[in-house]
Amino acid sequence: MIGPARRAVGILGGTFNPPHLGHLVMAQEARDQLGLERVVLMPAGVPPHKEVAGADPGAAARLELCRLAAVGDDGLAVCDLEMRRAGPSFTVDTLRVLHERDPELDLTFIVGGDMAETLPSWREPEAVLGLARLAVAERSGVRREALMERLAPLRGSERVAFFDMPRLDISSSDIRERVAGGRPIRHLVPDAVAAEIAARGYYRPQAGSSVA
């Protein structure tokens, strides 16, 4: 007897400070090319590998911006798991909790090429590969080959998959700088995210502070 098919779900983590169209395109391309049912945006409460930028409106605000970014896209969802957990948001811990909640999930953890390169330094990287497929947004060519060579010594490296993504020169830090400098961010973030940033005054310089 054949049991029910496992549900293929992608996890896209990050600080999302703020979420932008590059994040959404990454989620879209991973879902389309890797056959995922949906992609879940997982904003970090306390990132283990980098500090949230000083112009951080707070975890609750970043979560709400993610929710606004996902509105109207049935292939996107948002999860506050990492924000509700105390301490750093280690990927291996997140994946274990998700498996405990729903053992039928077939998880894919989505990252960019630069982040994939650091996988050997993550907490329990081989456990991460045992719990989820690692989907890397990286165009074919020398860069992809170099990444596979770097990750090859890890047990489970055969679970690394690649998908192509259009080159979009958008970053959260650039968006924060544009807001601080009074420049427009329309067409760089979803309209609802831009409206919330404007309404709440996120990323604007504080009185007496320098924009530089």
Could you report the per-residue pLDDT of 106-115, keeping only the tens digit for each?
Answer: 999 999 999 9
Q: Which domains does the chain carry?
A: 7-200 (3.40.50.620)
Q: Is the pLDDT of residue 151 over 60?
A: yes
Q: Is 42 exposed, middle or buried, given 0-12, 13-18 or 19+ CB atoms closer than 10 A?
A: buried
pLDDT tens, position by position, 133-144: 999 998 778 789
Contacts of 72 (CB under 8 A, 6+ apart): none
Asked if residues 124 and 92 have their Cβ atoms less than 8 Å apart, the reply is: yes
The residue type at 36: L
Q: What is the pTM of this model?
A: 0.90
Asked if residues 129 and 157 have their Cβ atoms less than 8 Å apart, the reply is: yes
